[in-house]
Amino acid sequence: MSTPFQKIEVAPGITLSEPLAAHWAAIAGSRRPFIKIDPTPSPNLPSTRSSFGNLPLLPKGFAYPEDAAGNPLFPLATINFAEVPPLEPFPTSGYLQFFCTVASDDYGSNYNDLFDTADFRVLYFTPDEVASPQTHFNFLNPIFEHRRAPMRTPHALSFQPAEGYMGPGEIAFDANYAFSEEISDKYPELADELERELWRVFALPGHRLGGYAYFNQEDPRYEFEYDPSLMLLLQIDHNQGKRTHWNFHGTAQFLIDPAALAARDFSAVAFNWDD
């Protein structure tokens, strides 16, 4: 089904039905920069390279992160900010690393407390801290080969600056897009289709640093009353990329307080596994 309204190009590459186009100024005001991540399968990557599913980069003597049962966590992602275009308030150097358990289908996301790091971890090291890194990770072989290993092959990451608009799945949507209720009242028979149009045009699946998150289900900031100012730190999406995928369908979002990110404090990161 499509709406009977005229389509209007409101910006290069963005066309909306008339009722939505009339509110383009409100939508345009939500524009936010992010870094698009493009993964490429690349065996034998150095640990200093930005990657998914590669060997980690840890200082000598640093205890390898484990889940609640004492099993090593899977090294999900490494972001070398020397390879990333600048984006405030993200670092411009250093290594941000994400780890998750393979012991459960949700990879360590605790839906009762997304900040519970019993089964996932986010670590940040400056270049000096990993100038002499650990090199022996044979104990990770069973984790890489586990049936729930999120990725079977290391992937090198490349980065590109991009911009996106607030999608209807974001917690801030209802507060900022009051026009959506106005449109629903004015066009009740077409309200669902107009909402689907918003999803088609503005939802942002894919891998990214910053910007708006894409939720297959509901934004957890609704249900659990987390601070709505929590921003997207990293998103990994099974549907996007060159054979990059989770073994099980879903999208991972890591959320953080912007002030903590600016302070390079990654001790309180929320991990949402969205299937």
Residue 18 lies in a domain: no
Omega into 89 within 30° of 0, i.e. cis?
yes
Check pLDDT > 70 for residue 60: yes
Residue 116 lies in a domain: yes
Where is mean pLDDT largest: 8-12, 97-101, 145-149? 97-101
Name the residue range of residue 249's domain.
31-167+204-274
Total domain count for the chain?
1
- Mean predicted confidence (pLDDT) in 68-77: 97
Question: In terms of pLDDT, which residue wins out, 184 or 81?
Answer: 81
Q: Contact 107/247 with Cβ under 8 angstroms? A: no
Residue 120 lies in a domain: yes
Check pLDDT > 70 for residue 213: yes
Helix segments in 83-187, DSSP class H? 141-144, 172-176, 179-186
Check pLDDT > 90 for residue 135: yes
**Strand blocks (E) in the chain:** 7-11, 14-17, 32-41, 51-52, 74-80, 95-100, 120-125, 155-164, 208-209, 231-237, 251-256, 270-274
Phi and psi of 217, rounded to 5°?
-110, -145
Phi and psi of 273, rounded to 5°?
-95, 115
Give 104's DSSP letter: S
The span from the CA of 139 to the CA of 120, in Å, is: 18
Question: In terms of pLDDT, which residue wins out, 215 or 67?
Answer: 67
Q: Contact 67/73 with Cβ under 8 angstroms? A: yes
User: How much of the chain, in percent, has pLDDT values that exceed 70?
Assistant: 92
Residue 198 lies in a domain: no
Residue 19 lies in a domain: no
pLDDT value at residue 182: 81
Type of residue found at 49: R
Check pLDDT > 70 for residue 3: no
Residue 68 lies in a domain: yes
Could you report the per-residue pLDDT of 15-36, keeping only the tens digit for each?
999 988 988 888 888 889 999 9
Q: What is the CATH number of the domain that holds 109?
A: 2.30.320.10
Q: At which residue do the structure tokens 């358990």 appear?
A: 101
Q: Contact 14/200 with Cβ under 8 angstroms? A: no
Q: Name the residue among 156, 14, 141, 126 with its Cα closest to residue 71.
A: 141
Size of the chain, expressed as the number of residues it contains: 275
Residue 178 lies in a domain: no
pLDDT value at residue 257: 94
Residue 70 lies in a domain: yes
How much is the pTM? 0.90
Per DSSP, the three-state class of 148 is: coil
270 bridge partner residues: 255
pLDDT value at residue 118: 97
The span from the CA of 214 to the CA of 164, in Å, is: 11
